[in-house]
Copies of this chain bind each other. A is one copy, B any other.
Amino acid sequence: MSKARARDLGLDFPGEPGPHNAITDVPGVLVGYTTLIEGDGPLVVGQGPVRTGVTAILPRGHDTTPRPVWAGQFSLNGNGEMTGTHWIHDAGYFVGPVCITNTHAVGMVHHAATRWMLGHYAESFNARHLWAMPVVAETYDGTLNDINGQHVREEHALAAIRHAAAGFPAEGNVGGGTGMVCYEFKGGTGSASRRVALGGESYSVGALVQANHGTRDWLTILGAPVGRELREDLIAERECGSIIVVLGTDAPLAPLSLRHLAKRAAIGIGRHGTPGGNNSGDIFLAFSVANPMDLPQLSAAKLAFEHLNGEVLDPLYLAAVEAVEEAVVNALVAAEDMPTLRPAGKVCRAIDHDRLVAVMRRYNRCR
């Protein structure tokens, strides 16, 4: 609650954030977590230790009527998983929660998210032929978690969805972000948002990231070569992580524009130095809560749609880049030390706030 965030440290991020500086600034968007931290000692596959979890984003809150959100998806580097994207590409919408977990829990979380949809939307699903195709994404936490033990169970995912709430979402070692490593610092979940004025109205764009990517030498923050300056506690010979970015907005965007928005996440993460490594699943989703509608199956033959002209979208693209950029640093700043399992016996350290600020000052990038 009182944890410092990147902006609190004085880092000179551009743009105007929303009240929570988080994806939950987008009206109706809720975030919930199940965090699993159990056991210590050395890795015994199947027995732990467990440091993983599930993150759930509900674009339409707990509404029991299934209502799509418009969406677009882009993969900078597809070495990972995000389900539900074939239809997002072709139809530009999805229904239900977005869940993020570890790589080997994708199936169980997909099963649970489907179950939740079948129950929560039972009135619709039992009345006609409808199919649930939830969005489930992942990053790999095998450095810090017994990932091959598949410790995430159905109830864990259901709890993350059911407890999703408004307000500032926790950051760092929470939910699917529990066991993340980012630029060889402790990574995790981070969020940020921006307010944007377009065509006389004001909109929010928010990002939530599960940040598990990067090697130390790549790391720059606001242009400062942080990874060159902070060389202690390196833990990886090479990158073996990924980053999932979820962007939400209340700006009325056409599906093609939402795909553009998702693409801009590549620039947002690129600002910290990653070139999009081969082992990294850099997979991005963008959705808009505007233009609410019933399921297409229940809707009229002709649909009215209002969307922002591409000509005015540059500030929104920039806001998305900035929100993603800040969300990654928020994940780093909120994270806490965690011992490693593979390689055993090290500690994955959170970035030291004071030392970070000292570097940033050296490059005049701290207020």
Residues of B within 8 A of A136 (CB): 107
Q: Which residue of B lies closest to A305 (CB)?
A: B305
A90 to B110, CA, bound (A): 23
Cβ distance A210 to chain B, nearest Cβ, rounded Å: 15
Residues of A in contact, count (CB < 8 Å): 105
Closest B residue, CB atoms, query A152: B111
Please provide the chain A residues from 106 to 124 with a CB less than 8 Å away from any CB of chain B in the complex: 106-115, 118, 122
A199 at the interface (CB under 8 A from B): yes
How far in angstroms is the closest Cβ of chain B from A309? 5
A8 proximity list for chain B (CB < 8 A): none
For residue A297, CB closer than 8 A to chain B, the reply is yes
Residue of B114, B277, B308 touching A301 (CB-CB under 8 A): B308
Residue of B nearest to A117 (CB): B104
Shortest beta-carbon distance, A48 to chain B, in Å? 14
Q: Which of A315-330 contact B (CB under 8 A)?
A: 317-318, 320-321
**Stretch from A28-36, A55-63, A75-83, A166-174 forming part of the interface with B:** A75-83
Which B residues touch A79, using CB under 8 A? 86-87, 90-91
**CB-CB nearest 8 A-B residue pairs:** A223-B223, A199-B301, A107-B111, A107-B110, A267-B270, A78-B86, A78-B90, A275-B317
**Which residues of A approach B to under 8 Å, CB–CB?**
14, 45, 75-92, 103-115, 118, 122, 125-126, 129, 131-133, 136, 140, 142-143, 148, 150, 198-200, 218, 220, 222-225, 238-240, 252, 254-256, 260, 263-264, 266-267, 270-271, 274-279, 281, 283, 296-297, 299-314, 317-318, 320-321, 342, 362-365
